[in-house]
């Protein structure tokens, strides 16, 4: 009864999110667009992004097909044992997970490649209308991501009644996210690095100069990497956290009439989305016309509303208060991690300033000090995740057996409750970043550019918080996926009539072996992506050199001479698709290899090692990257000798290294961890049946 109510509520709130998204979408489209140059350049960006998405999705469709056939044959159990029906359910859920994620990404790209033009033109009228164009464009993505994920999970569970199918749905979303994030990340940084290297460093022409053949690819990259990639990432985390919670809640509710724990998961997720919708509607710049304030006020409103609404619901529907406490702990710690991240990347704080100062001694010092602060930034995040897992576990332990791990999953649900506003803020970033480029290429003048600069800078500041948040959320989610894995193994073990597991003992060498291998995966995965960017950027640099050499008048900026933007987009696209597959498959196959060698015990260790080392690498790479970016900007604002100084040259080197750190490898690690956790859960029956040790 309560469950039905909250499942219905989830559908209603999802619909509400879609309505808000649709209205914003119409609103953004209706904004005036008169500047022909902006329309033309914006059109190039839009076409480039569409081409990339089409080619990426066609590669991914093949992957989904192959993986779907594999699932049909083997999961949840080999088809000759379990019969056709459960495998079809699983395969279809998987395909839907991938499809829903793709739809959300598609919507995001569609609006982002329009909102950027609208925001650029709106900037002529002042900061307030430009901010609104950017923010509402981002909000379309935010609402679409969270609405789709909530609706999808609710639909799959309601229609199949099977939490394994929900895990299958989640795996579909994760697979897509892994490739979207990694592929988009490689695309965006290939273009960004090549454009900067030839444009800014070799030729000394400004960023976003239309003569640069890679400039459109760079702008396309912001969309496919940051909008579509980040959206897929948080779609994935959101779905995964709900799935893990639902797996455990269903196990706890088994045999009870009320299904109250399952209802609580839907309730909290739905109210989180509702709070995000209200937060998005409330975000205003206020009298100070400060865009950072507007973005943060939306986040804080959502946080407050979520805590309030869930407290009221807990009171009226008789959920356990301890679960509410766990979700509040998760949310609070998410914010704290975000703020810690902010400390390490904010140019008013000492890390950024010290790196800027060290840069005066040469690029080696930029790298050394930036890496060092990135290393240190790992500590608060890991302590935060550890403490929130510990507190939410202990808080819910008195509720009975199985509730302790469920408490951790509720902390993850709590942390991710505000994901709607987080994605909105995050998608705002690349929209206004693009708007800045369009304002420059459209010749709107310095005053307008400075308006878009301010919007862009707010996007960067908020991004630090949302990135830390995304990693923290992934951390808690994968810990609860570990709980889901155990729950799945025990269900399968009971069916097979073999012994289940109660935990994983570190001193068991099979567990330890798995842990060591699992810990090595994130660095290897990161390296494969970075080498992919490196190789791809070298190809693109060669192409840019060719164009400047062969196209007469391009370098001098002769009127009517245009570079061949499309060639650079092509290189970025095909390179990204070529480089992303091996890294993704490496992660999936190493999970399978460890599982078939060491069985579930090795997988328990593997997941743990993977989570721990993954969090360390994700955090340090994202933060070092953000810190170098801001150090460079800080120097460009006039500090340490300003542009052209030795410090600036060194800072550009730092920023170039930091780009794939913060936009390719770092944020892809989240997804890598989630995919591996889901693969482990889904294949658990097979590991139980066949393994060497």
Q: Which of residues 450-489 bind a copy of itself (CB under 8 A)?
A: 479, 482-483, 486
Q: CB-wise, 364 or 561, nearer to a copy of itself?
A: 364
Two tokens at 79?
């088809």
Among 113, 154, 341, 608, binds a copy of itself (CB under 8 A): 608
Q: CB-wise, 102 or 678, nearer to a copy of itself?
A: 678
Q: Report the C-alpha gap between 485 and 61 in whole angstroms.
A: 27
Two tokens at 140?
């379309």
Q: CB-wise, 157 or 411, nearer to a copy of itself?
A: 411
Among 509, 566, 567, 574, binds a copy of itself (CB under 8 A): 509
Q: Report the C-alpha gap between 425 and 301 in whole angstroms.
A: 13
Q: Report the C-alpha gap between 650 and 358 in whole angstroms.
A: 9
Q: CB-wise, 20 or 621, nearer to a copy of itself?
A: 621
- Residue 340: CB atoms within 10 A of its CB come to 21
Q: CB-wise, 401 or 556, nearer to a copy of itself?
A: 401
**566 is a site residue for a copy of itself (CB under 8 A):** no
| Placement of tokens 């798995």 in the chain | 514
Q: Are 611 and 673 in contact (CB under 8 A)?
A: yes
Two tokens at 8?
């219905």
Q: What is the Cβ-side half-sphere exposure of residue 619, based on CA atoms within 13 angstroms? A: 32
Query: Please, is 55 exposed, middle or buried when counting C-beta atoms within 10 Å of its C-beta (0-12, 13-18, 19+)?
Result: middle
**326 is a site residue for a copy of itself (CB under 8 A):** no
Q: CB-wise, 8 or 382, nearer to a copy of itself?
A: 382
**548 is a site residue for a copy of itself (CB under 8 A):** no
Q: Report the C-alpha gap between 615 and 388 in whole angstroms.
A: 15
Letters for 406-445 (x = contact with a copy of itself by CB under 8 A, - = none) are --x-------------------------------------
We find the least distance from the C-beta atom of residue 243 to a copy of itself, in angstroms, to be 18
Q: Give, as ranges, the residues between 625 and 664 that touch a copy of itself (CB under 8 A).
A: 652-653, 656-657, 660
Q: Which of 291, 275, 247 is nearest to 681 (CA)?
A: 247
Q: With both helix axes pointing from N to C terminus, report the angle between 84-122 and 163-195 in degrees, rounded to the nearest 10.
A: 40
Q: CB-wise, 444 or 653, nearer to a copy of itself?
A: 653
Cα torsion 637, 641, 647, 651 to 10°: value is 10
Q: Report the C-alpha gap between 93 and 90 in whole angstroms.
A: 5
**515 is a site residue for a copy of itself (CB under 8 A):** yes
**65 is a site residue for a copy of itself (CB under 8 A):** no
Q: CB-wise, 132 or 478, nearer to a copy of itself?
A: 478
Q: CB-wise, 284 or 545, nearer to a copy of itself?
A: 545
DSSP code of 399? G
We find the least distance from the C-beta atom of residue 535 to a copy of itself, in angstroms, to be 9
**499 is a site residue for a copy of itself (CB under 8 A):** no
Q: Which of 336, 373, 338 is nearest to 462 (CA)?
A: 338
Q: With both helix axes pointing from N to C terminus, report the angle between 230-253 and 666-689 in degrees, rounded to the nearest 10.
A: 40
**62 is a site residue for a copy of itself (CB under 8 A):** no
Q: CB-wise, 477 or 526, nearer to a copy of itself?
A: 526
Q: Which of 635, 624, 633 is nearest to 659 (CA)?
A: 624
Q: CB-wise, 101 or 650, nearer to a copy of itself?
A: 650
Q: Are 669 and 523 in contact (CB under 8 A)?
A: no
**603 is a site residue for a copy of itself (CB under 8 A):** no
Q: Give, as ranges, the residues between 226 and 245 that touch a copy of itself (CB under 8 A).
A: none
Q: CB-wise, 306 or 617, nearer to a copy of itself?
A: 617
**618 is a site residue for a copy of itself (CB under 8 A):** no
Q: Are 523 and 617 in contact (CB under 8 A)?
A: yes
**Kind plus residue range of the DSSP H or E element containing 556:** none
Among 19, 88, 531, 561, binds a copy of itself (CB under 8 A): 531
Greatest alpha-carbon pair distance for the chain in Å reads 78
Q: Which of 559, 561, 535 is nearest to 548 (CA)?
A: 561
Q: CB-wise, 296 or 646, nearer to a copy of itself?
A: 646
Letters for 13-52 (x = contact with a copy of itself by CB under 8 A, - = none) are ----------------------------------------
**352 is a site residue for a copy of itself (CB under 8 A):** no
Q: CB-wise, 284 or 349, nearer to a copy of itself?
A: 349
Q: Give, as ranges, the residues between 194 and 223 that touch a copy of itself (CB under 8 A).
A: 197, 201
Q: Report the C-alpha gap between 32 and 9 in whole angstroms.
A: 37
Q: What is the Cβ-side half-sphere exposure of residue 42, based on CA atoms within 13 angstroms? A: 30
Letters for 359-388 (x = contact with a copy of itself by CB under 8 A, - = none) are --xxxxx-xxx-xxxxxx-xx--xx-xxx-
Q: Give, as ranges, the residues between 660 and 689 that touch a copy of itself (CB under 8 A).
A: 660
We find the least distance from the C-beta atom of residue 650 to a copy of itself, in angstroms, to be 9
Q: Give, as ranges, the residues between 100 and 159 that touch a copy of itself (CB under 8 A).
A: none
Q: Report the C-alpha gap between 652 and 197 in whole angstroms.
A: 9
**568 is a site residue for a copy of itself (CB under 8 A):** no
Q: Give, as ranges, the residues between 180 and 199 that touch a copy of itself (CB under 8 A).
A: 193, 197
DSSP code of 258? S
**247 is a site residue for a copy of itself (CB under 8 A):** no
Among 66, 390, 561, 585, binds a copy of itself (CB under 8 A): 390
We find the least distance from the C-beta atom of residue 405 to a copy of itself, in angstroms, to be 7
DSSP code of 199? I
We find the least distance from the C-beta atom of residue 97 to a copy of itself, in angstroms, to be 26
């Amino acid at each position: 009864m309560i469950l039905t109510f909250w499942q219905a509520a989830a559908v209603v709130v999802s619909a509400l999110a879609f309505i808000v998204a649709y209205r914003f979408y119409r609103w953004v489209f209706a904004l005036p667009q008169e500047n022909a140059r902006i329309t033309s350049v914006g059109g190039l960006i839009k076409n480039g992004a569409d081409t990339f998405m089409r080619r990426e999705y066609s590669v991914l469709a093949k992957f989904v097909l192959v993986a779907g056939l594999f699932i049909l044959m083997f999961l949840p159990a080999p088809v000759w044992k379990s019969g056709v029906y459960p495998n079809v359910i699983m395969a279809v859920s998987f395909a839907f997970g991938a499809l829903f994620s793709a739809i959300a990404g598609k919507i995001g790209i569609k609006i982002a490649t329009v909102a950027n033009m609208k925001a650029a033109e709106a900037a002529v009228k002042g900061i307030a209308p430009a901010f609104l164009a950017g923010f509402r464009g981002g909000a379309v993505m935010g609402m679409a991501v969270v609405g789709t994920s909530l609706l999808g999970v609710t639909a799959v569970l309601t229609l199949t009644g099977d939490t394994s199918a929900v895990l299958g749905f989640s795996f579909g979303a994760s697979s897509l996210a892994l490739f979207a994030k990694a592929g988009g990340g490689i695309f965006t940084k290939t273009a960004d690095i090549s454009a900067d290297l030839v444009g800014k460093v070799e030729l000394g022409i400004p960023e976003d100069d239309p003569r640069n053949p890679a400039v459109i690819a760079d702008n396309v990259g912001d969309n496919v990497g940051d909008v579509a990639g980040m959206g897929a990432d948080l779609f994935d985390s959101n779905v995964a956290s709900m799935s893990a919670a639902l797996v455990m809640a269903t196990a706890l509710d088994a045999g009870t009439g009320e299904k109250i724990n399952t209802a609580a998961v839907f309730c909290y997720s739905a109210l989180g989305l509702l709070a995000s919708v209200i937060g998005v509607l409330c975000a205003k710049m206020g009298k100070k016309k400060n865009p950072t304030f507007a973005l943060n006020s939306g986040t804080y409103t959502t946080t407050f509303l979520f805590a309030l609404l869930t407290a009221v619901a807990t009171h009226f529907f008789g959920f356990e208060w301890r679960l509410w406490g766990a979700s509040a702990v998760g949310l609070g710690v998410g914010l704290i991690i975000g703020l810690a991240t902010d400390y390490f990347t904010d140019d008013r704080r000492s890390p950024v300033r010290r790196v800027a100062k060290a840069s005066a001694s040469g690029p080696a010092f930029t790298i050394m000090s930036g890496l060092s602060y990135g290393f240190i930034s790992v500590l608060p995040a890991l302590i935060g995740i550890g403490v929130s897992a510990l507190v939410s576990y202990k808080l819910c332990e008195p509720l009975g057996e199985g509730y302790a791990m469920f408490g951790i999953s509720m902390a993850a649900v709590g942390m991710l409750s505000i994901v709607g506003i987080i994605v909105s803020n995050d998608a705002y970033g690349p929209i206004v970043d693009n708007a800045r480029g369009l304002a420059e290429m459209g010749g709107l003048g310095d005053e307008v550019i400075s308006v878009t600069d301010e919007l862009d800078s707010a996007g960067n500041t908020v991004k630090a918080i949302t990135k830390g948040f995304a990693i923290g959320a992934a951390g808690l989610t994968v810990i609860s996926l570990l709980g889901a894995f155990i729950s799945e193994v025990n269900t399968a073990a009971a069916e097979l009539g073999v012994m289940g597991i109660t935990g994983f003992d570190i001193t068991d060498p099979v567990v330890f072996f798995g842990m060591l291998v699992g810990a090595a995966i994130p660095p290897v995965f990161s390296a494969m992506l970075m080498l992919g960017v490196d190789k791809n950027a070298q190809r693109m640099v060669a192409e840019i050199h060719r164009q400047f050499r062969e196209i007469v008048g391009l370098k001098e900026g002769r009127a009517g001479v245009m570079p061949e933007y499309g060639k650079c987009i092509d290189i970025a696209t095909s390179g990204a698709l070529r480089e992303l597959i091996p890294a993704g498959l490496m992660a999936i196959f190493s999970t399978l290899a460890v599982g078939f060698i060491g069985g579930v015990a090795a997988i328990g260790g593997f997941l743990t090692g993977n989570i721990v080392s993954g969090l360390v690498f994700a955090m340090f790479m994202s933060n070092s990257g953000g810190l170098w970016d801001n150090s460079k900007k800080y120097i460009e604002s006039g500090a340490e000798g300003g542009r052209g100084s030795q410090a600036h040259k060194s800072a550009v080197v730092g920023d170039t290294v930091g780009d794939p750190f913060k936009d390719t490898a770092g944020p892809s690690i989240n997804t890598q961890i989630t995919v591996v956790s889901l693969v482990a859960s889904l294949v658990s029956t097979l590991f139980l049946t066949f393994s060497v040790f």
